[in-house]
Each structure stands twice: as structure tokens, then as C-alpha cells.
Copies of this chain bind each other. A is one copy, B any other.
Amino acid sequence: MLTKNELKYIQSLYHKKHRDEEQLFVAEGPKLAEELINSEFVIKHIYALDTWIQKNPAIKVPLTEISEIELGRITNLQTPNEVVVIAEQAKTFGEPELPGHLTIMLDGIQDPGNMGTIIRIADWFGINQIICSNDCVEMYNPKVVQSTMGSILRVKCWYKDFESLEFKNSTPVFGALLNGKNIYAVGKVKEGVLVIGNESKGIREPMLSKITHPVTIPKLGGAESLNAAVATGIIVGCLVNGGE
């Protein structure tokens, strides 16, 4: 049973301002709940239907049984899914380490579905560092969290002012541009930064002039562009696996 205050509190976490203040986020559904429970993230509260509680008898965090009607009031999903978890946002985890790693940089990704899908792609290909420009959609936006399918728990995301970022001369900076090297001919890369641009404007200054390795996905048909997450999947996959 939910009190009126609890209901209001949970609903407030669907607004960035309140998430920032409380340093919390919301994740929904049995899959994400299970991954959160088995992760190092701190769970503040679980709200779940009786059906979920019966399948998860050994829960050691604060837990409230709710009805389907109550779930319908606190969910952000079109099809509510058994359980809503309130968890603490990851604490600061140091600075990204560029040498020896592949790192994704997102220059103004706006769509929460794209952001979540890119985090999932990074996780699939074993990349665990993403640096986002300050105007990217927030990683704890509920639509981002859901579309990562749990990868948000494994990939570290930083938000940075791109104006003040400096790269060492030795760091290769890849970016998809119109006249770059064919990405299918680049071969495997063990270290570097891959910049993905905004959905409509592409890669903007100041990042644009920092690109040392322009790459291109060859276009053979009529489409003007590829979706940002699809382009990320293609380029990351080639950089990680290419040339085998």
C-alpha cells in the first residue's frame, strides 16, 4: 500500500530536477530489478506486485507490496511490468582513462532511446567509458535507463564541457564524417576516442576540429543519413572487430 506522500515522491523522480536533488533514479521491470539487485548500486526502495515478491523471497532492501492500480500510478511504461526500483545514482568514479582504452564521446545526443541504445552497444562490445557533452540527454532519464536494458549498470558515463576538453597528441580521435576512410577498411583499433554527433547537426565544434581519424560508412542507396545509434553500432563494431 502506497501513502499519498510516497506516490508523490516517486512521481517526482520522473523529473530531472528532483532526480538531481535526490541523486536517485527509477528502473522498472523484473530484468532491470534483478540486475540492480546483483549490482553494486545501492537500492533505496522496491515497489512490487505480489507476483514479483513471491518469485523474489530473499530481498534485503526496503520493499513495499503494491496493487496493479498503484503500479499504474507510479510507472513510466506503457505496459507496467511488476516492479519499480528506486536506486542511488552512481557516485563519482574518477576520471575516464583514455590510454589503452576505446572511449565513446557523445556530442549532443538528444533522444533518450538513442542514448540508451548507445550505452547498450558500448556494453556489448566491451567499452565501459562514455563521455557525454553537457547538452546530451541525462543518463538517468527513465527512457534512457529502460532502453539500456541493464547496461547502464556496467558502463560509466561522464558529462563534460567539450570546450575545455584536451586530448594528448597521441590519442586518435575517430569521428564519422562525409569524406573519411571507409570504416570497413580501418581494421582493429585498441585505443582511441570515437565521437558520435548530434542527431541532426552531426559533430559540432569544438569536437569537429579535434578529429584526427575521419571515418565514413559507405552510402550505396538513397537515405540521407543513418540513425545515430545504428551508426554507433556499425562504427564501434568495426573498430573493435575489424580486420579479422
Contacts and interface: CB of A to CB of B under 8 A. Distances in A.
Contacts of A185: 244
Given A184-B237, A184-B244, A221 B117 contact: no
A9 interface: no
A128 B220 CA distance: 11
A223 B124 contact: yes
Interface string A146-186: 01011100100000000000000000000000000010110
A240 interface: yes
Interface in A213-230: 217-227, 229-230
B224 A237 contact: no
Interface core residue of A224, A237, A240, A242 (most chain B CB under 10 Å): A237
Contact of A220 (B150, B231, B232, B240): B240
A220 B182 contact: no
A148 B9 CA distance: 39
Given A117-B230, A224-B149, A230-B230, A124 B184 contact: no
A126 interface: yes
A221 B113 contact: no
B154 A222 contact: yes
A126 B150 CA distance: 34
Contacts of A127: 221
A236 to B, nearest CB: 9
18 contacts: A117-B227, A120-B227, A120-B230, A121-B223, A121-B230, A122-B221, A124-B219, A124-B226, A125-B221, A149-B225, A150-B222, A154-B221, A182-B241, A184-B238, A184-B241, A218-B241, A227-B233, A229-B229
